[in-house]
């Protein structure tokens, strides 16, 4: 199934139609996506797996592969590193994002198949579906939902489903 994300920030599929936060630069063409540009790339991306903070709540109900985050989880965002757009263990020498955050954004993180087969340098990394900040403040390029909406979404997603942005 394809879950649609509109350019104006709504995700729709089955019985779900909920607000979503998008990148600070809006929705941009996937071919124009560059590391750090703040754009949410258009395209159709496989919903791969789910990570969550076990210390902050129960595991989401989902049939997708699921793993509790660890304090040393990271995600490489260094375009010239061989681990670009891949999970890494911290400490890590190249630029990376900490997946174990003080805020609630990554209490639930859905890994999407953006620029990962294989990753192309500078074409964008860490495009996730995760929990929103505040009153749907813009993301760095991800799609973000309220925690309860993300949990409901995950309870309906099936292996092989895709997020379609734009």
- 37-75: pLDDT as tens digits: 999 999 999 999 999 999 999 999 999 999 999 999 999
pLDDT on residue 52: 98
How do residues 26-36 score in pLDDT, each as one tens digit?
A: 999 999 999 99
- Into how many domains does the chain fold? 1
Q: Please write down the long-range contacts of 5-12, taking CB distance under 8 Å and 24 or more positions apart.
A: 5/40, 5/143, 5/163, 5/164, 5/165, 5/166, 6/166, 7/166, 9/136, 11/143, 11/145, 11/153, 11/163
| 3-class state of residue 79 by DSSP | coil
Beta bridge partners of 66: 50
Assign residue 62 the CATH number of its domain: 2.40.440.10
Range of the domain at 22: 2-165
Phi, psi of 52, rounded to the nearest 5 degrees: -150, 160
pTM of the model: 0.97
């Amino acid at each position: 199934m394809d879950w649609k994300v509109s350019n104006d920030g709504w995700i729709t599929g089955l019985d779900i139609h909920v607000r979503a936060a998008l990148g600070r630069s809006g929705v941009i063409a996937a071919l124009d996506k560059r590391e750090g540009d703040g754009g949410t790339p258009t395209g159709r991306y496989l919903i791969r797996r789910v990570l969550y903070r076990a210390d902050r709540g129960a595991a989401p109900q989902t049939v997708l592969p699921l793993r509790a985050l660890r304090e040393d989880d990271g995600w490489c965002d260094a375009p010239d590193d061989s681990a670009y757009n891949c999970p890494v263990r911290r400490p890590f020498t190249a630029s990376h994002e900490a997946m174990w955050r003080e805020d609630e954004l990554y209490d639930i993180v859905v890994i999407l198949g953006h620029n990962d087969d294989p990753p192309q340098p500078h074409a964008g990394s860490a495009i996730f579906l995760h929990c929103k900040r505040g009153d749907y403040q813009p993301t760095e390029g991800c799609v973000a939902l309220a925690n309860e909406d993300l949990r409901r979404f995950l309870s309906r997603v099936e292996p092989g489903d895709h997020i379609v942005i734009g």
